[in-house]
Amino acid sequence: MPARWRQWLLAMGLAALAVTVRAAEPKAQIVREESPIASQTAQLVIADLARRGWSVTETIVSRDGAPSETRLAGETMFVALGARALAALPKSTGGTAAVAALVTRSALEEIPQADRWSAIVLDQPVERWANLIQIAFAGRPATSGLLLGAFNTRSMPLLQRKFQERQLALIEERVAATDDVVPALDRLLPRVAVLLALPDPVVHNRTTVQALLLTTYRAGVPVVAYSESYLQAGAVIALYSSPSQISAQVVETLLQLREGRQAAAIQAPRYFTVGVNATVARSLGLQLPSGSELKDRVRAAEQ
Amino acid sequence: MKTITREFVVVALSLACWTADAVGREDEPEYFSDMPVVLSASRLTQTLDAAPAAVTVIDQRTIKASGARDLTGLFRLVPGMTVGLYNGRKAILGFHGFSDPYFRQFQVLIDGVSIYSPMWGGGEWSELPIAIEDIERLEVVRGPNAAAFGANAFLGVVNIITRDPATENRFEAATNIGESGIRDVLVRMAAHEGDLRYRLTAGQRVDTGLDSYPDDRRSNFVNLRGHYRLTGESELRLQAYYAGGLTQDGNYSDKSNTINGPRDGNHDLGMLQLRWTRMRGADEEFWLQLFHSTRSHRETLPWLMILPEPFGTWNYPLSFDYSYQRTDLELQDSVRLGESARGVWGAHLREDQVRSSVFFGTSSAQHSMLHRLFGTLEWRPRPGWIVSGGVMWEDNNLSGNSISPNLALNRQILPGHTLRVRWAEGRRTPMLYEERADRRYDQPAGLAAILRSLGLPLADLPMAQTTRSRDALKDEVIHSREISYLGQFPDQRLELDLHLIEHRLGRLISLYAYPFETALGAFESKYRSTLGFHNEGSARIRALSGGARWQPVRGTDVQLTLARTSIDARGANAALIEQSGPRHTVSLFVRHDLPADWRLGAGYYRVGSMRTQSGGDLLPPVERVDVRVARMIPLGSGKAEVALVVQNATGGGPLFERNDVDRRTAWLNLRYVH
């Protein structure tokens, strides 16, 4: 039965090959928060990695922030989506590279520095904001205003510097509590042509946005904001990174780390969207380029 | 109407439940937190050069700086509009003519709801349930706009837009104390807690009006505006109003025939507006609204009847009581139609009910039902071009059904310079009073019995009959052609607005006398006829009006308006109509912020020779100067403001009749805001 033996040998050889290939298949584990955005981003990362032949598992950190059972070891690369997911993970990756996303720069500062993590922060680079204002409002009196809460105040010195480099004026009003927003706007709006909205839970939230957008609209001052939702609410321009743009950067970072190349410990969003609320702009008598044109020009300025 | 109410509640609750189950995103980082849509279609205004009609916007800063106590005074800032006084509290409004205490040719809305009186037409201006401080802005559409607002948006539309509670101070208290018995008080508060925000205003307006008229006023008002956000896209808005109090009327000089003698009137007005809105963005909004209002007026005239000899005089108290109510169910949907077009469509159902024994000759209710469907479209085929059009279909039980279209083309000829050509049709529906007036004075039962016992046929006749409608009235119609220029000169901080109109008005409703048999007619000829309404007469209005707004530096605002009007009328009342508007009007308003928190507002107004359409003398040109000087003072954690307002600062001009003279009135306005 030499033929049968040959068949057996071939089958075993193929099985061995399959095991070898299986062992070489890259693996990733996504640890994410229990939120719609983390879920959406995770699905995008999973779909992208699956197309590239990765094996991906997903773990959800519960809302009460209970530490995960996850062990970081072996060949599996880790992706933490959301600050709570990152905080719930062990700080040592056990030598494995890992990527964090959907975290803000300030949230990252509150989480003890982990080794071999590369975090893609949500905060857009400060110079990107300055470029956007300069390009979008070219030809208008360029004094911009900013309401500063405890959270976004940290970016102020750098923001001031970037604005000054571009001969743009930036003035601020401090807000200590939600109730201060309208009085602060009353003081700020007569002196500015644009209001820059940078995230701060006291200044910009579901409660204050009503007063903020109505008051600025009445004063004829356009708002440049940080999220798509803010744009829908009535901001004239928004600069933000969408879940698909963040997931693309997560995947690129994973691939880069897998190839053994270094990734920066903190990465700014590489891909971004500039949205223009044309109806509100028109109502304010503003003639603005389209969002895609603004994005291209901001990107060109960065290069 | 109970059916309408019930259906609305069912629909509103279903919609509320449907939207309330949307997933909250409070756990997201700030970058992804859900923000409610704020600047939705109904909150956005078009820039003047993109609007499909000529619009004058009077903003909050102008309103405050004007020092106006009554809203009607602000209409002096609208080119072509005239504001006079019938007495100390009742304004006589006109727009390129048709000035009248019952100015019916303008639609009047508060936050999109019509408060146009179903009984008399026009607005009950002195009894508005809102404070000047509640107003965000006034938008006055200069020209017919039936396609968007329906019948009675005839010569124009006034939309009073109140402030959103989100933009309000937490607490405000104010008082006016001054001449003419002015003693006003006002308290306002606003709060914003989570998904709920609201404002409550309560106030009293008190004055003794003019010396020459019984026109005291003591009006109390309360209003509430509350918003409850159901989801990021939807909210419920409730607005409730009450106004009530005393208003005097009549004439001291009416000695020979005391039919218009001094008397007290009491009124009560209540309004409730509930709106569910779904906002999907700046162009996409749907709302459903229920509105109900009720008003009652109680007034008794101590009529001193002067009878032919040998009967002498006879006291005959007359009740002028009336009441009306309105129920509206309305929906409106704003949609984006691709990149270059957007549209609005809507439907509207209304029932008006009026009761008055003295004005309708019966105690049973007079009904008016209205159904509407409308749609408007704005299309931007290429940069610098805007085509806007709309059509309104209406059906009412007074004058049948009608279609009112309009079309406008805005063309930007150079950056900042726009020409607009517009064609529009509009109509004014007869008021219930015009359609069904039966204003008769019955004989006292005792007198009728005596006459009957004497076998006199006079016993079965009304004692007198002043008005009795007998014609089936049709809508008044207007065909309008307009050309406008809108210029912006940003370097000079100047805006210009020129507006050339030709309105052709037809089937104008007017009074005429016809023979009518009454008991008093047996003794005196003037009681042998009565008045009816009929569609008679036409008019052509040609006017050039314009405005310039110059804001050279921050804190300085100069607004100039001019209008030149010519009216050619035909028919029995042609002379009255032609004289009902001045040939020229001018207004100049200056607001200037001075150092050390001093603020100045001053207005100069000149109205050419005219008379009120419903009577009065042909008055010479009238000039008027109003001044307000104010100073803000920090006080604790809030701010106080002291203001001196002087109206008619250079002395008053003649009013309705040549010998009635308005006089200088000054008051102090004290305010605390926290």
Q: Closest partner residue to B283 among A36, A107, A279, by Cβ?
A: A279
Q: Which residue of A279, A284, A287, A292 is the best one to mutate when testing the B interface, meaning the one whose CB has the most B CBs within 10 A?
A: A279
pLDDT tens, position by position, B605-636: 999 999 998 878 899 999 999 999 999 999 98
Q: Cβ of B38 and A36 within 8 Å?
A: no
The shortest C-alpha distance from B377 to chain A (Å) reads 15
Mean pLDDT of the region B141-159: 93
Binned at pLDDT 50, 70 and 90, residue B23 comes out as: very low
Tell me which of A12-26, B328-342, B572-586 is least confident.
A12-26
Q: Cβ of B30 and A226 within 8 Å?
A: yes
If you average pLDDT over each of A73-77, A96-100, B265-269, which comes out highest? B265-269
pLDDT at B74 over 50: yes
Mean pLDDT of the region B265-288: 94
The shortest C-alpha distance from B365 to chain A (Å) reads 43
Q: What is the pTM of this model?
A: 0.87
Binned at pLDDT 50, 70 and 90, residue A13 comes out as: low
Q: Cβ of B38 and A63 within 8 Å?
A: no
Q: Map B33-97 to HEC letters.
A: CCCCCCCCHHHCCCCCCCCCCCEEEEEHHHHHHHCCCCHHHHHHHCCCEEEEECCCCCEEEEECC
Contacts of B305 (CB under 8 A, 6+ apart): B313, B314, B315, B316
pLDDT at B231 over 60: yes
Which residue in chain A is spatially nearest to B27 when comparing CA positions?
A35
Q: Cβ of B30 and A201 within 8 Å?
A: yes
Chain B residues with CB-CB distance to A204 below 8 A = 30
C-alpha to C-alpha distances, B669 to A240, B88, B565, B631, nearest whole angstrom: 48, 19, 37, 11
C-alpha to C-alpha distances, B312 to B306, B307, B570, nearest whole angstrom: 6, 5, 43
Q: Cβ of A283 and B166 within 8 Å?
A: no
- At residue A78, the pLDDT reads 86
- At residue B262, the pLDDT reads 82
The shortest C-alpha distance from A232 to chain B (Å) reads 5
Yes or no: say if B393 and B403 are a contact pair by the CB < 8 Å rule.
Answer: yes
Mean pLDDT of the region B369-395: 95
Q: Cβ of A229 and B282 within 8 Å?
A: no
Which two three-digit tokens encode residue A69? Answer: 């059972």
The shortest C-alpha distance from B617 to chain A (Å) reads 43
Which residue in chain A is spatially nearest to B639 when comparing CA positions?
A183
State how far the Cα of B518 lies from the Cα of B529, in Å rounded to an integer.
Answer: 8
Mean pLDDT of the region B75-102: 91
Read off φ and ψ for residue A229, nearest 5 degrees.
-65, -40
Q: Cβ of A285 and B47 within 8 Å?
A: yes
Q: What is the residue type of B95?
A: F
Nearest of B273, B269, B330, B265 to residue B298 by alpha carbon:
B265
Higher pLDDT, B457 or B203: B203
Tell me which of A260-269, B517-526, B630-639 is least confident.
B517-526
Contacts of B141 (CB under 8 A, 6+ apart): B53, B54, B55, B149, B153, B156, B157, B159
- At residue B35, the pLDDT reads 87
- At residue A110, the pLDDT reads 79
Which two three-digit tokens encode residue A232? Answer: 């829908």
Contacts of B410 (CB under 8 A, 6+ apart): B49, B50, B51, B52, B385, B386, B387, B388, B418, B419, B420
Which residue in chain B is spatially nearest to A105 when comparing CA positions?
B29
- At residue A151, the pLDDT reads 78
Q: Closest partner residue to B38 among A107, A209, A226, by Cβ?
A: A209
Nearest of A264, A238, A234 to residue A249 by alpha carbon:
A264
- Calculate ∠ Cα B497-B498-B503, nearest 5°: 130
Question: What whole-number percentage of chain A has pLDDT above 70?
Answer: 84
Which two three-digit tokens encode residue B366? Answer: 């007079």
Mean pLDDT of the region A249-255: 94
Question: What whole-number percentage of chain B has pLDDT above 70?
Answer: 93
- Calculate ∠ Cα B464-B465-B471, nearest 5°: 165
State how far the Cα of B637 lies from the Cα of B658, in Å rounded to an integer.
Answer: 51
State how far the Cα of B655 lies from the Cα of B657, in Å rounded to an integer.
Answer: 5
Q: Cβ of A217 and B60 within 8 Å?
A: no
Chain B residues with CB-CB distance to A63 below 8 A = 27
Chain B residues with CB-CB distance to A269 below 8 A = none
Number of inter-chain CB pairs under 8 A, A vs B: 125
State how far the Cα of B270 lies from the Cα of B221, in Å rounded to an integer.
Answer: 10
Using DSSP's 3-state secondary structure scheme, residue A75 falls into coil
Which two three-digit tokens encode residue B44? Answer: 């956005």
Q: What is the DSSP pairing of strand A194-196 with strand A143-148?
A: parallel
State how far the Cα of A284 lies from the Cα of A86, in Å rounded to an integer.
Answer: 42
pLDDT at B52 over 60: yes
Interfacial residues of B (vs A; Cβ cutoff 8 Å): 23, 25, 27-41, 43-47, 50, 59-60, 136, 164, 166-167, 169-170, 192, 194-195, 197, 229, 232, 281-283, 488, 554-555
- At residue B260, the pLDDT reads 76
Q: Cβ of B27 and A215 within 8 Å?
A: no
pLDDT tens, position by position, A203-244: 999 889 999 999 999 999 999 999 999 999 999 999 999 999
Within B285-437, strands assigned E span 285-306, 313-319, 322-336, 341-356, 362-379, 385-396, 400-414, 417-428
State how far the Cα of B591 lies from the Cα of B167, in Å rounded to an integer.
Answer: 22
Which residue in chain B is spatially nearest to A207 when comparing CA positions?
B194
Tell me which of A92-96, B504-508, B517-521 is least confident.
A92-96
Q: Which residue of B23, B25, B31, B488 is the best one to mutate when testing the A interface, meaning the one whose CB has the most A CBs within 10 A?
A: B31
Which residue in chain A is spatially nearest to B39 when comparing CA positions?
A234
Chain A residues with CB-CB distance to B229 below 8 A = 206
pLDDT at B508 over 80: yes
Nearest of B345, B65, B112, B107 to residue B225 by alpha carbon:
B112
Q: Which residue of B35, B60, B237 is the best one to mutate when testing the A interface, meaning the one whose CB has the most A CBs within 10 A?
A: B35
Chain B residues with CB-CB distance to A199 below 8 A = 29-31
- At residue B358, the pLDDT reads 86
The shortest C-alpha distance from A295 to chain B (Å) reads 18
pLDDT tens, position by position, B520-579: 888 788 889 999 999 999 999 999 999 999 999 888 999 999 999 999 999 999 999 999
ipTM: 0.85
Using DSSP's 3-state secondary structure scheme, residue B526 falls into helix
Yes or no: say if B39 and A235 are a contact pair by the CB < 8 Å rule.
Answer: no
- At residue B306, the pLDDT reads 67
Look up tokens 């983390």; give the residue: A38
The shortest C-alpha distance from B281 to chain A (Å) reads 5
Nearest of A52, A154, A41 to residue A100 by alpha carbon:
A41
Binned at pLDDT 50, 70 and 90, residue A8 comes out as: confident
Q: Closest partner residue to A232 among B30, B37, B170, by Cβ?
A: B37
Q: Cβ of A122 and B31 within 8 Å?
A: yes
State how far the Cα of A25 lies from the Cα of B154, in Å rounded to an integer.
Answer: 77
- At residue B34, the pLDDT reads 84
State how far the Cα of A232 lies from the Cα of B514, in Å rounded to an integer.
Answer: 63
Q: Closest partner residue to B33 among A211, A229, A280, by Cβ?
A: A229
pLDDT at B461 over 90: no
Integer Rg of chain B from CA: 26
Yes or no: say if A266 and A105 are a contact pair by the CB < 8 Å rule.
Answer: yes
β-strand partners of A146? A172, A196
Q: Cβ of A200 and B27 within 8 Å?
A: no
C-alpha to C-alpha distances, B88 to A118, B22, B212, B605, B625, nearest whole angstrom: 76, 54, 9, 18, 17
- Kindly write down the DSSP assignment for every residue of A218-264, as one continuous string: HTT--EEESSHHHHHHT-SEEEE--HHHHHHHHHHHHHHHHTT----
Mean pLDDT of the region A274-293: 93
The shortest C-alpha distance from B30 to chain A (Å) reads 6
Which two three-digit tokens encode residue B402? Answer: 């009608």
If you average pLDDT over each of A18-27, A58-67, A265-274, which comes out highest? A265-274
Instruction: Give, for B465, the enclosing helix (H) or strand (E).
Output: strand B464-468
pLDDT tens, position by position, A143-190: 999 999 887 788 888 999 999 998 899 999 999 988 889 889 999 999
Read off φ and ψ for residue B600, nearest 5 degrees.
-125, 140
pLDDT at A74 over 70: no
Enumerate the H helices of B250-402 as residue ranges: 357-360
State how far the Cα of A182 lies from the Cα of B168, in Å rounded to an integer.
Answer: 8
Tell me which of A81-95, A135-149, B189-203 is least confident.
A81-95
Q: Closest partner residue to A209 among B23, B35, B281, by Cβ?
A: B35
Yes or no: say if A204 and A263 are a contact pair by the CB < 8 Å rule.
Answer: no
Q: What is the residue type of A159?
A: L
- At residue B5, the pLDDT reads 47
Reported as half-sphere exposure (CB side, CA atoms, 13 A), residue B356 has a value of 29
Q: How far is Cα of residue A245 from the mean position of the Cα atoms in its chain?
A: 8
State how far the Cα of B537 lies from the Cα of B508, in Å rounded to an integer.
Answer: 5
Q: Which residue of B44, B47, B55, B167 is the best one to mutate when testing the A interface, meaning the one whose CB has the most A CBs within 10 A?
A: B167
DSSP state of B100: B
Contacts of B43 (CB under 8 A, 6+ apart): A214, A217, B164
Q: Closest partner residue to A234 among B30, B39, B192, by Cβ?
A: B39
State how far the Cα of A285 lies from the Cα of B257, in Å rounded to an integer.
Answer: 59
- Calculate ∠ Cα B87-B92-B93, nearest 5°: 160
CA torsion, ordered B121, B123, B125, B130, to nearest 10 deg: 150
Binned at pLDDT 50, 70 and 90, residue B3 comes out as: very low
Q: Closest partner residue to A35 among B27, B45, B232, by Cβ?
A: B27
Which residue in chain A is spatially nearest to B341 when comparing CA positions?
A279
Within chain A, strands assigned E span 27-33, 55-61, 77-81, 98-103, 117-121, 143-148, 169-174, 194-196, 223-225, 237-240, 266-267, 273-276
Nearest of B547, B541, B582 to residue B562 by alpha carbon:
B547
Yes or no: say if B267 and B292 are a contact pair by the CB < 8 Å rule.
Answer: no
- At residue A206, the pLDDT reads 87
pLDDT tens, position by position, B155-208: 999 999 999 999 888 999 999 999 999 999 999 999 988 889 999 999 999 999
pLDDT at A49 over 50: yes
State how far the Cα of B654 lies from the Cα of B674, in Å rounded to an integer.
Answer: 42
Q: Cβ of B30 and A190 within 8 Å?
A: no
Within A52-182, strands assigned E span 55-61, 77-81, 98-103, 117-121, 143-148, 169-174
Binned at pLDDT 50, 70 and 90, residue B21 comes out as: very low
Which residue in chain B is spatially nearest to A64 when comparing CA positions?
B27
Chain A residues with CB-CB distance to B33 below 8 A = 205-206, 227, 229
Which two three-digit tokens encode residue B382? Answer: 């290429």
Question: What whole-number percentage of chain B has pLDDT above 90?
Answer: 67
pLDDT tens, position by position, B205-220: 999 988 888 889 999 9
- At residue B495, the pLDDT reads 95
- At residue A26, the pLDDT reads 86
pLDDT at B16 over 50: no
Q: Cβ of A280 and B282 within 8 Å?
A: yes
- At residue B255, the pLDDT reads 57
Mean pLDDT of the region B579-592: 97
pLDDT tens, position by position, B238-266: 999 999 999 888 877 765 555 677 888 99
